[in-house]
Chains A and B, each alone.
Chain A
Amino acid sequence: MLSIQDLHARVGDTPILRGLSLEIPAGEVHAIMGPNGSGKSTLSYVLAGRDGYEVTGGRVLLDGEDLLDKDPEERAAAGVFLAMQYPVAIPGVSNLQFLRAAMNGIRKTRGEDAISASDFMKLARKQAALVELDSGLLKRAVNDGFSGGEKKRNEIFQMAMLQPRFAILDETDSGLDIDALRIVSAGVNALRTPERSMLVITHYQRLLEHIVPDRIHVLMDGRIALSGDKNLALRLEDEGYSQVRAAHA
């Protein structure tokens, strides 16, 4: 479903991704691990289309359609969702207004009718319950004054509202305590379907005990150095990246 082919990208003059290739079939959850600076967050931003991340080679196809020449909002309409590592706070824009604008934006791009206020609110109430997000937070400004855990739950709530084809979770576990990790993971697992694929970026094996991936890839120096099944995370936890790097070299 998602096909990344020999992707090269740089930030400013610094090449970060150097020939990354990855296939994620429909319905699968793949994890990416890797040392700091290996390009994990760059990959997530390149896939979502953030300015300042320049693709210098390769292709990314979602269901055979080229993603890289689309604007971020067009990618969202095509079904891409990025749960951010550091969700920004947007004072003055309520969570509900923001999400309604998002759903209507996506529907408009797809040539569909806007969602009614009534249907929108019913859906919001249902999906907020999924990640135990208090309805008071829905009315507040986007992420404004939210705790770290509330921000991450809000990301998964947005994912549940927008129902993407392909979701990237960029260090969704960072800053979460045990309880929040359990809630967020349960929300993500509830969103696993045979049609939806996910790419989970993390530093820690702990998250992958909750969100069990089909495949794990190790990203080093801007390309995939090693792939394996879910047991690879345990090996990395034991041996560290340097062993893997040595074995790979």
Chain B
Amino acid sequence: MSDATALAGLSAPAAASPSFVRDAFAALGGGLPTKKHERWRFTSLRALKELNFAPGADALSLTLPAGTTATKGAPEPHDAPVDFAALNAVASDGQTRVLRVEKSSADPILLTHTATGVHYPRLRIDVAKGQEALVIERHQGRGALTALAMDIALEDGAILRHVRVHEDAGRSISRVAVRAQRSSRYEQHAITFGGELMRLDLDIVLAGEGAECGLYGAYHGDESDHIDTHIRAVHRAPHCTSRQDYRGLVDGRATAVFDGQAIVERTAPFAEAHQQNRNLLLSERANVFTKPHLEIDHDEVIASHGATVGALDDASLFYLRSRGISEDVARALLTFAFVRAIIDGVPDAALAEELRATLRERIPGAADLPEVPTFEDAS
């Protein structure tokens, strides 16, 4: 019996009370997942034990460009949902917001989550054949729990650029599942500035020939923040490409977890799969658990994976200081630079600039760094 079937046996969402949720998890095999579950090995859910799981008021606002429609429906998700996505399926109102991009627009789709309580947003985004869309998703509430489930379907040749921004967003557990058909492309930039419990499960299936995904993340954790990224990119068709590049700054007693997996199935020759996770440890009490890994059922693969956890490079620090830059400023420059490339890749110039400014404010000393002058300044 799949998890989804287990939940289907429970009563209606009106009963989304604490006991209902406890029952739901019991049906999943015994309460909230613990560290004994492989998927939750490095992430404790103890803080959720006393939570009243009853959903609060709708806290998702949508702004849609011309060419994108919104309906409510209950379409089948791609895969059987597990734990929190399954919880979402029951505890949301059973309805899914379905956005369909029929026609490309220069304007983004804006999704803004403002939950302060418990929130179960549930979405599906379909991008029609050959169309392009930009989704800017921001988590602005300091939620007790946001358990999000999002299914994305890209038809042939479609392109979706998805930017997710969490800024001290409390507890946020998201599952984003993407199915990419022939020659389509999915790109995600996940920018996470702090958060008590941040968990992203990103499941991609490259289902059609020549499909691609580019998955990028930048995170900064401080104090007791916990930032956990789990990725599964499955190559199911020939000539598909997946890239994962995640970089983080981990300070205070914060913990960063990265589990990035690429699976190349027998049906997917000529694959290209890259996974990289780099971490800068800024405190002796900070923790990083990182595991980029690759499963290949085929010989025709170009692949690379790597992970680093370390401190600032001494040679770079000396180089900057030897030019007259004080140690504090040199550290701030190098720390900022460590994750900046990811933010520079955010496909919206104004948002990228805002995120750089936010990052500057979060790194001690970086707020005073000189702006990058341009040749226009000289005229």
Cα distance A162–B324 in the bound complex, in angstroms: 9
Cα distance A135–B375 in the bound complex, in angstroms: 9
Are A73 and B327 CB-contacts (below 8 A) given A48-B322, A90-B334, A90-B337?
yes
Chain B residues with Cβ below 8 Å from A101 are: 320, 325, 329, 333, 369-370
Chain A residues with Cβ below 8 Å from B338 are: 92
**Interface status of B76 (Cβ within 8 A of chain A):** no
The stretch among B9-17, B108-116, B199-207, B310-318 that forms the contact with chain A is B310-318
Smallest beta-carbon distance A135→chain B, Å: 7
Chain B residues with Cβ below 8 Å from A108 are: 326
The 8 A CB mask of A44-71 against B (1 = contact, 0 = none) is 0000111100000000000000000001
The stretch among A80-88, A193-201, A231-239 that forms the contact with chain B is A80-88
Chain A residues with Cβ below 8 Å from B313 are: 88
Find the A residue at minimum CB distance from B337: A92
Find the B residue at minimum CB distance from A95: B372
Q: Are A76 and B323 in contact (CB under 8 A)?
A: yes
**Interface status of B377 (Cβ within 8 A of chain A):** yes
**Interface status of A172 (Cβ within 8 A of chain B):** no
Chain B residues with Cβ below 8 Å from A162 are: 323-324
Find the A residue at minimum CB distance from B369: A101
**Interface status of B289 (Cβ within 8 A of chain A):** no
The 8 A CB mask of A154-194 against B (1 = contact, 0 = none) is 00001000100000000000000000000000000000000
**Interface status of A242 (Cβ within 8 A of chain B):** no
Smallest beta-carbon distance B9→chain A, Å: 52
**Interface status of A118 (Cβ within 8 A of chain B):** yes
Cα distance A92–B335 in the bound complex, in angstroms: 10
Cα distance A135–B378 in the bound complex, in angstroms: 13
Find the A residue at minimum CB distance from B378: A121
Are A97 and B374 CB-contacts (below 8 A) given A49-B322, A72-B318, A92-B336?
no
Are A117 and B326 CB-contacts (below 8 A) given A87-B319, A88-B319, A92-B338?
no
| Pick from A97, A106, A135: contact of B372, CB under 8 Å | A97
Q: Are A118 and B321 in contact (CB under 8 A)?
A: no
Chain B residues with Cβ below 8 Å from A109 are: 324, 326
SS of B interface (majority)? helix
Cα distance A135–B373 in the bound complex, in angstroms: 13
Find the B residue at minimum CB distance from A116: B377
| Pick from B324, B370, B377: contact of A121, CB under 8 Å | B377
The 8 A CB mask of A91-120 against B (1 = contact, 0 = none) is 111101111111111101100000001101
**Interface status of A248 (Cβ within 8 A of chain B):** no
**Interface status of B51 (Cβ within 8 A of chain A):** no
Q: Are A121 and B375 in contact (CB under 8 A)?
A: yes
Q: Are B319 and A104 in contact (CB under 8 A)?
A: no
Q: Are B373 and A50 in contact (CB under 8 A)?
A: no
Q: Are A72 and B329 in contact (CB under 8 A)?
A: no
Q: Are A118 and B370 in contact (CB under 8 A)?
A: no
**Interface status of A125 (Cβ within 8 A of chain B):** yes
Chain A residues with Cβ below 8 Å from B325 are: 73, 98, 101-102, 105
Q: Are B324 and A84 in contact (CB under 8 A)?
A: no
B12-61 residues with Cβ-Cβ distance < 8 A to A are none
Are A76 and B322 CB-contacts (below 8 A) given A118-B377, A125-B378?
yes
Find the B residue at minimum CB distance from A84: B319
Smallest beta-carbon distance A93→chain B, Å: 5
Chain A residues with Cβ below 8 Å from B314 are: 51
Smallest beta-carbon distance B139→chain A, Å: 26
Are A102 and B323 CB-contacts (below 8 A) given A92-B336, A92-B340?
yes
Chain B residues with Cβ below 8 Å from A91 are: 337, 341
Chain B residues with Cβ below 8 Å from A141 are: 337
B321-356 residues with Cβ-Cβ distance < 8 A to A are 321-327, 329-330, 333-334, 336-338, 340-341
Cα distance A239–B334 in the bound complex, in angstroms: 47
Chain B residues with Cβ below 8 Å from A73 are: 321-327, 330
Smallest beta-carbon distance B239→chain A, Å: 28
Chain B residues with Cβ below 8 Å from A96 are: 372-373
Chain A residues with Cβ below 8 Å from B378 are: 118, 121-122, 124-125
**Interface status of A29 (Cβ within 8 A of chain B):** no
| Pick from A50, A98, A120, A125: contact of B323, CB under 8 Å | A98
**Interface status of A77 (Cβ within 8 A of chain B):** yes
Chain A residues with Cβ below 8 Å from B375 are: 121, 125, 135
Chain A residues with Cβ below 8 Å from B373 are: 96-97, 100, 117, 120-121, 124
Find the B residue at minimum CB distance from A92: B337
Chain A CB within 10 A, most for which of B314, B325, B341, B374? B325
Q: Are B337 and A77 in contact (CB under 8 A)?
A: no
Cα distance A81–B375 in the bound complex, in angstroms: 26
Chain B residues with Cβ below 8 Å from A48 are: 318, 322
Cα distance A165–B327 in the bound complex, in angstroms: 22
Chain B residues with Cβ below 8 Å from A139 are: 372, 374
Cα distance A188–B324 in the bound complex, in angstroms: 20
Find the B residue at minimum CB distance from A52: B314
Chain B residues with Cβ below 8 Å from A122 are: 378
16 contacts between A and B (CB under 8 A): A49-B322, A71-B327, A73-B327, A81-B322, A81-B323, A92-B336, A92-B341, A97-B371, A100-B370, A100-B373, A102-B323, A109-B324, A117-B371, A117-B377, A121-B378, A125-B375
19 additional A-B pairs beyond A73-B325, A82-B322, A88-B315, beta carbons within 8 Å, are A49-B321, A50-B318, A81-B323, A88-B319, A90-B320, A90-B337, A92-B336, A92-B337, A94-B372, A101-B320, A101-B329, A105-B325, A105-B326, A106-B324, A118-B378, A121-B374, A125-B375, A125-B378, A139-B374
The 5 closest A-B pairs by CB, nearest first: A92-B337, A121-B378, A76-B324, A106-B324, A102-B323
